[in-house]
Structures are given as C-alpha cells and as structure tokens.
Chain A
Amino acid sequence: MSALNNPVIALVVSLIITVGYFVMVDHYLMDMQGLDFWYLFKN
C-alpha cells in the first residue's frame, strides 16, 4: 500500500484503471445496443 501512496505510481495506476474502465464502458454499452463504438476507426 505504501508504494501506492507514491504520487507517480498512484497516478499511473489510477490512469490505467480509469482509462481501461471507461474504454470498456464505451465499448460494451455500444455493443449491447448492437452498435460499433470503433466505427470511425474501422471505416
């Protein structure tokens, strides 16, 4: 836990968790509606 209180490590871990979470939110919630979140990047 003490390593996590290092600001740089905390920032990196937080970024990994939150970015990963929001990408999943975007992808799966669009997928559940039968839509493709990555439409622009694929076309």
Chain B
Amino acid sequence: MGLLVGKRVFSIVALCMMVGLLLLPVVVALPSLAIGEETHAGDAAKKDGDKVEKGRDVYYKTEGIVSGAPAPKTTDGVKDYPRYNFESRVLLWFANQQHLYYGSFVLAVPIFCMIIEFMGVVTKDKALAKRYDQLAYDFIKISLTAYSLTAILGGILIFTFLTLYPAFFSYLSGIFRPVMHIYALMFVAESGTLYIYYYGWDKMKEGFLKWIHLSMSVVLNVIGTLLMFLANSWIGFMMSPAGVDEQGRYLGNIWHVIHTALWNPLNLHRILGNMAFGGGVVAAYAAYKFLASKTDEDRAHYDWMGYIAMALGVAFLIPLPFAGYWLMREVYAYRQQMGITLMGGLLAWLFIIQATMIGILFLSTNYYLWQAMGRMRGAEKYQRYIKYLVFLLACGYMVFITPHTMVMTPAELKAMGGQQHPVLGNYGVMSAKNGGINVIITTTVLSFVWYMRGNKVSTVSWAKFGNIFMGVFFGCAYFNIIFLAVYGYYIPANVRVGLSVPQVATTLSCLFFMFALNSFMMKGAKQMGPIEWGKISARSQYALIMLATAFTWMMGLMGYIRSSVRLFWHVNEIMRDNSPWAYTHTVGFAANMISANVLFFWITILFVFWLGSLTAKKVPVESKAGIPGSVPQPAPSH
C-alpha cells in the first residue's frame, strides 16, 4: 500500500515537473517580453538625445520603435560567405534536410504513442489493450534513439550556419533574440519530458498511474509542437517577413516577427506532413522486420504494427493536400509573384515531380490495402471490383501528372506549334488536376471502407439501404468531382478558381460521412472469419517501404521548393543573398541532391533501428512473452 502511494506521489511529482518544464520558458521569457525590448529601445533613444526613431512594419503596416540594426548588406567575399572548396549552400542544404528528417520523426512518433497509448487505456479488451501498450512502447523506443541523433544534427546545423553564413545567421538570431532562449529551454523541457515518459513506462502501467503517464505524453507533445512552431517562425520570417521595417530593423514586437503571413499555414502543413512521414517510417521499420522475421509470431506482430503505422500515416496524408492548398493560397495572397514562381514559373516542373510522388503515395496505399484484404476471410467479394479502382486511380494519376508545358528543343516547339501539347496540354491545367487528385483520394477512401468491412457482414435492419446509399453517394461524388473539373473549362478563370473548394468538400464528405456510415453499419456485424495477421504477401511490405521512401523523397522536394522560392533573398525583399550560390539549381541537380539526402537518411535510420534491435535482444524472456502477436489472432477492431 505504502509502495503504491509512493508511486502515485512520484508520478504526480513527475507530471508537475513536466508541466513546470513546459511553463519554464514562458516564465523566464515574460520579463524580457514585457520590459526588455522597450528598455533597449528606450536606452537607445536616450543615447540619441531622446530622439526616438520609428519605423513602419513591412507587413502589418503598424509603426514601432526601431530596436535593431538593419539587415546587413553582404558582399561576395570570404567575410560574409567563407569558402571551403565546396558549395556552401549544398552543405547547408544537407545539414538542414537531415535535421528536418530526424526532427519530424521524433516529433511525430510521440504523437503516435499518445494516440496508441490512449487506445490501449480505453480499450476494454485486456489482451488488445496490452498489445496497444506494447506497440506504443516500441514506437517511443525507436524515437528515443533517433532523438539523440536529432540533437547532434541540430548542433551540426548551427555550426554550419555559423561557419558558412555568419552574416545571415547573426541577423536572423538578432531578430529572434527575444525568443531564442525560449527555444533552448523548450528543447531542454522536451528532452527531460521524453526521458521521464520513457523510463516511467513500466512504473506507471496500471490504473491511475497510467492516466498520469498518458497525461505526460500530452505534455510531451505540447512541448514538441510549440518547439516546431517556433522553428517554423524562422522560415515563415524568411519567406514573408513581418515585424521589421523595410531596412530589416526590428520594431520591438516579437509577436509580429513570429506571426507572419505564412506561419499558420506552415504550422498546419508541417504537423500533418510530420505525422504522415513518421507513420511511413515506422511502417517501413515494421515491413523490414516482417520480411526479416523467422517465426509466425513475429510476422503477425510486425504485420499488425505496419498496418497501424500505415493507417495513422495515411490518416494524416489525406488532409495534407488540402493544407497544401491553404499554404499556396496564402502564398498567392502574400505575394502573387511568389505563387507564380512556384506553380507556373521557374519551379513549376518540380510540382510535376511532386504530383508524381503524391500519386505514388496513394497508389502504394491502395495497393497495400488490397493486398491486406487477402488476410481476411470474406474480403474475396471485393477482389473483382479492384480493377475498376485501378482504372479510376490510373486515370486520375495520369491527369494529375500531366504537365501544362514541356521542355523542348526549338524544332520540337515549332513542330508542336507552341509549348503546350494540343491534346495533352488541356489536361495540364489546375481544373483537371484538382479533379485528378480528388478522384485519387476518394478512391483511397473507398479502398479503406472496403478494407474495414472486408470480413464483416452488416446485421443492422437497414443494411440493404445503407449499402445502396453508400454506393450512390460514392458514385455521385465521383460524378460531382469530374463534372466540376470539366465545368472549369467553360467558365472564366476568376470563377474557376473557386471550384476547388466544392471539389475538396466532396472528397471530405466521402471521408467523414462514409466512414461514419460504415461504422454504424458494422456495429455488431457478423464476422466471416478472423484477420490472420502475418498472412499477407511480401509485396504488401514492399509497398510500405515504397510509401516511406516516397514520403521521404517528397518531403525533401517540397522543402527545396519552399526554400528556393525566395530566389536570391535570404529574407524575402529584406536581406539579399549575395553569395555566388544565389541561383536556382537545375531540376536534375536538385533531384540528385534530394535523392542523396534520402539515401543518407535511410542508411542512418537503419543504423538507428539496428541500435534499437540491440536493446530489444537484451529484454528478458518474461517481457518478450508480453509482445503481441504470439499467434495470428483476430483483432476485434481495425
């Protein structure tokens, strides 16, 4: 009894410590936020004989007291851009990308842990609850090893900035000085919370203590998300600066500097992107372990793990294109020219590659789901319809990746009568592409619905009506999406641009309404047979690896696109990049660079997985017995 009380007290103290760690940066920052900058400004004013210089915010158009130095005007020399016999930008690109990959992974995985641990806590089936808990623990174990590497890569990134771009880094850190220490303290809080969360797992595995442990995961993720938001404010500032005057002088309002035009769209896009990426990496880990498994027990466990990770990843992948639309919309609203450079100019071809990768992601997901239906009895009835889904996906994909213009020789250009192909060119416009991607996403939703009802037969009295309604709803949704895509050709551009909203709403309607309807229909459904975990083709596991690789590659690509849209600016329209590398690389070079980054990430993450497996081997036999999937067993829910 005494021991239990002691554990409770310890858990509550640990939770309070975490909340304290979370609040620490805010408490420390309050005095400087409240008086610090004004004091600096006031001191400066006194020195200048009470002459206060005011500046006008380039974005918010408000007036503020000039509190910082103007953005440095750099020159192409070793002082501002030291040379190390290598293109500095490429080095920085590499350091940044690796840090981002690992940062995304270690921020996403604890969110998965939180969701899975919560599922374990609320699940009434004790065996399933134990499986969820073990899975969440496996996830955080992978994350912990990667966390150390993230910190090392963060150090390398700062060192790279300081060494290769000292003038720029000095300016940026000067602008963000009021919150720099908050970032550092948040990082300390994140580390502390993560270690308490991980090492407290076994001590807080039941009852009230489990809820305390679960609360810790919430605190951990709040800290992680805030940390990411702060980091996002730097890139938001570089793309769409605010809180400074036209010379780049800080005007004393740090919230303006953080809350730039693109900050919120970037935050949303990155959260969803990180989650999809994290799910993909964990799914690939499970696939690798599945393929390397020697026993049915291990195969069952890793098959289940791969499915859960993939499902979570795809759950965040589906809304990702819509967050992307919002980001692009805000980019256009901020600077139309920036949007044109992205979507219709210099970088447009990279978006064709992006479309190709998005298509691959959805095709891989669908393929995995169709393969996964093979492990449940009763799902055979859907097999003969899969060819129609393949047709829809292929049509949507081909329309989605068709370019508007093509790179050609003058002779080819002359023969074709312009840059736009007379037939294919018609499909390379936004109206058609929106239709293409929405058809792909709707088809993925349909595959998921089929998978969820694969081995079940609805027993509700209105089952026949439900099935017909579902079929009609999907049919009308496809019709509406394609109709809107075609309709766009017959109306002016300023009206056409609005059609993407009802198209997206149609897809989301399928997602939410059909998932809900399916859940109601499948309540108390008759099971045709158990899901035989582990009895799935090896091809499905390669699809998971493909999914993860495509995520990684696309993340590298989109990071490059977002960064290079600034063209020759360090900070858009405020601080010019005068280095010899202030030009846009060719598509081929960028693709090679992204591939190299992806390769390096996967080699190092395999090393991390290997390290994780070393500790797993040391787990005592009694713990091993608790690992789920000892025999292929049914899962009551998907």
Contact = CB atoms under 8 A, between A and B. Distances in A.
A43 B345 CA distance: 33
B491 A40 contact: yes
Contact of B473 (A4, A5, A14, A37): A14
Q: Is the interface of B mostly helix, strand, loop or mixed?
A: helix
Query: Size class of A's contact patch?
Result: 20 to 34
A14 B462 CA distance: 13
Nearest to A31: B498
B509 interface: yes
Given A25-B509, A39-B491, A40-B491, A15 B499 contact: no
A14 B495 contact: no
Nearest to B474: A18
A22 B480 contact: yes
Contact of B495 (A18, A32, A35): A35
Given A7-B468, A14-B469, A22-B476, A40 B490 contact: yes
Contact of B505 (A1, A18, A25, A36): A25
Interface string A1-43: 1001101001101110111011001100110110111011000
A8 B615 CA distance: 62
B476 A25 contact: no
B260 interface: no
Interface in B345-391: none
Nearest to A20: B476
Interface residues of B, number: 27
Interface string B449-479: 0000000000001111100110111001100
A30 B502 contact: yes
Contacts of B463: 5
Given A4-B465, A40-B487, A30 B501 contact: yes
Contacts of B477: 18, 22
Interface in B18-38: none
Nearest to B480: A22
A20 to B, nearest CB: 10
Contacts of A39: 491-492, 495
Contacts of A18: 469, 472-473, 476-477
A11 B473 CA distance: 10
A15 to B, nearest CB: 6
Contacts of A13: 465, 469
B506 interface: yes
Contact of B480 (A1, A4, A26): A26
Contacts of B129: none
Contact of A25 (B462, B472, B487, B506): B506
B58 interface: no
A10 B501 CA distance: 29
Given A5-B465, A14-B469, A29 B502 contact: yes
Contacts of A30: 495, 498-499, 501-502
A19 B462 CA distance: 21
Contacts of A10: 464-465, 468-469
B472 to A, nearest CB: 4
19 contacts: A1-B465, A4-B465, A5-B461, A5-B465, A7-B468, A10-B464, A13-B465, A13-B469, A14-B465, A14-B468, A18-B476, A18-B477, A25-B480, A25-B506, A26-B502, A30-B498, A33-B498, A39-B491, A39-B492
Interface of A: 1, 4-5, 7, 10-11, 13-15, 17-19, 21-22, 25-26, 29-30, 32-33, 35-37, 39-40
Interface of B: 461-465, 468-469, 471-473, 476-477, 480, 484, 487, 490-492, 494-495, 498-499, 501-502, 505-506, 509
Query: Which 4 pairs from chain A and chain B are nearest by CB?
Result: A14-B472, A35-B498, A4-B465, A10-B468
Given A1-B461, A4-B465, A30-B495, 17 more contacts: A7-B464, A10-B468, A13-B469, A14-B469, A14-B473, A17-B469, A18-B473, A18-B477, A22-B477, A25-B509, A26-B484, A29-B501, A30-B498, A30-B499, A33-B498, A40-B487, A40-B491
